[in-house]
Amino acid sequence: MKTNPKSEIRNPKSIVVAPSLLSADFRNLEEQIRFVEKGGADWLHLDIMDGHFVPNITFGPMLVKTVRSISQLPLDTHLMVEKPERFIEAFKQAGSDILTVHIETCPHLHRTIQQIKSLGMKAGVSLNPSTPTHSLDEIIEDVDLILVMTVNPGFGGQKFIPSMLKKVEEIRSMMTSAEQFLEVDGGVDVTIVAELMKAGANVLVAGKAIFSQKDITRAVKILKNITSKNT
């Protein structure tokens, strides 16, 4: 049965922490989700990979539906797939709240964004590390969320690319609405959070930094604490 997200997806005063389930122990998925909920996770980040756009395959709407049945947190769905427009409806049905497509995969990005919004989901656009910020020029006002990849997409546990800090800053300066989210994804851990926030990020995805810890709840709490200290 589909449950409604308990928290409204509005641009918050506080920073959003979104654990990436890619690094979770799937043998105990429900327990792992409870751990991050207990730590104060704001969203759950779900990485959909197709083995074409990125060199890895993960999961699809079926697992999103399972996660929806476990948690009421907003589901932040990151599509690393070619021709993502084929799957918009399926992810809506599965219970996604936010659907982010990669700019590199969308020749008709404006149409794709409108399709996502017309189904009542928040629409995001993501940029690979090598994709220039100016590629957002014509679309930035239409999206709810911009996701800056701070590693090359495809795998969890990679090293943060430091030059992406400047990119985050540039994109923040291009953003016009305070209601838009600026999300960073890849290699995010406690050592970089303050700088990311200073650059203007307000949604932090973290996989390894959370799920590789013995105490997952504590790992989320620590991240949340750092964000509240820096706001």
The footprint of ligand DX5 (CB under 6 A) covers 20, 22-23, 45, 47, 78, 151, 153-154, 156-158, 185-188, 205-209
In one-letter notation, the amino acid at residue 220 is: V
Write phi, then psi, for 150 (nearest 5 degrees).
-105, 10
Torsion from C-alpha of 203, 75, 12, 211, nearest 10 degrees: -50
Write phi, then psi, for 110 (nearest 5 degrees).
-60, -45
Q: How far is it, in rounded angstroms, from Cα 175 to Cα 157? A: 29
The question of whether 185 is a catalytic residue gets the answer: yes
Instruction: Tell me which of Zn ion, ligand DX5, none is bound by residue 156, counting a contact when its beta carbon lies within the kind-specific cut-off of 5 to 8 angstroms.
Output: ligand DX5
Please state the closest distance from residue 24 (CB atom) to ligand DX5, in A.
Answer: 10
- Do residues 162 and 198 lie in contact, with contact meaning Cβ atoms separated by under 8 Å? no
| Site stretch for Zn ion (CB under 5 A), options 33-41, 45-53, 89-97, 157-165 | 45-53
- How far from 23 is each of 58, 126, 152, 203, CA to CA, in Å? 11, 20, 16, 18
The question of whether 47 is a catalytic residue gets the answer: yes
Nearest Cα neighbor of 181 from 104, 88, 74 is 74
Q: How far is it, in rounded angstroms, from Cα 231 to Cα 226? A: 9
Q: Is 78 in the site for Zn ion (CB under 5 A)?
A: yes
Instruction: Tell me which of ligand DX5, Zn ion, none is bound by residue 124, counting a contact when its beta carbon lies within the kind-specific cut-off of 5 to 8 angstroms.
Output: none
Please state the closest distance from residue 1 (CB atom) to ligand DX5, in A.
Answer: 27
CA 212 to chain centre: 19
Binding mask 168-187 for Zn ion (x = CB under 5 A): -----------------x--
Q: Is 47 in the site for Zn ion (CB under 5 A)?
A: yes
Nearest residue to ligand DX5, by Cβ distance, number only: 207
- In the set 25, 42, 47, 137, the catalytic residue is 47
- In the set 42, 76, 97, 185, the catalytic residue is 185
Please state the closest distance from residue 94 (CB atom) to Zn ion, in A.
Answer: 17
Give the active site residues.
47, 185
Q: Binding residues for Zn ion, per CB under 5 A? A: 47, 78, 185
